[in-house]
């Protein structure tokens, strides 16, 4: 048996304004599920593309996404 409750609806989504050269931390508040779900972060362009981690970008077990130093990409 498995259970996945719906994601909470945000009345006022949080807007992040990262600063170049400064760390950015984003937290995920996933719904309750059994078994515990796998969390990943993605970019929505064509479908959903998972963001790869590296020395600068990390994702911990609880879904906290950290960028050590924000860079400008164009």
The tens digit of pLDDT for each residue in 18-62 reads 899 999 998 888 888 999 888 888 877 767 788 888 899 898 888
Query: What confidence score (pLDDT) does residue 46 get?
Result: 67
Q: How far apart are CA 25 and CA 4, in angstroms?
A: 25
Query: What confidence score (pLDDT) does residue 19 get?
Result: 92
pLDDT of 70 strictly over 80: yes
pLDDT of 71 strictly over 70: yes
Query: What confidence score (pLDDT) does residue 11 get?
Result: 85
């Amino acid at each position: 048996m498995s259970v996945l409750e719906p994601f909470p609806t945000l009345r006022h989504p949080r807007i992040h304004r990262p600063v170049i050269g400064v760390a950015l931390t984003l937290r995920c508040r996933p719904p309750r599920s059994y078994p515990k779900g796998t969390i990943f972060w993605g970019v929505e362009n064509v479908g959903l593309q998972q963001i790869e981690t590296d020395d600068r970008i990390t994702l911990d077990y609880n879904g906290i996404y950290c960028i050590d130093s924000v860079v400008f990409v164009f």
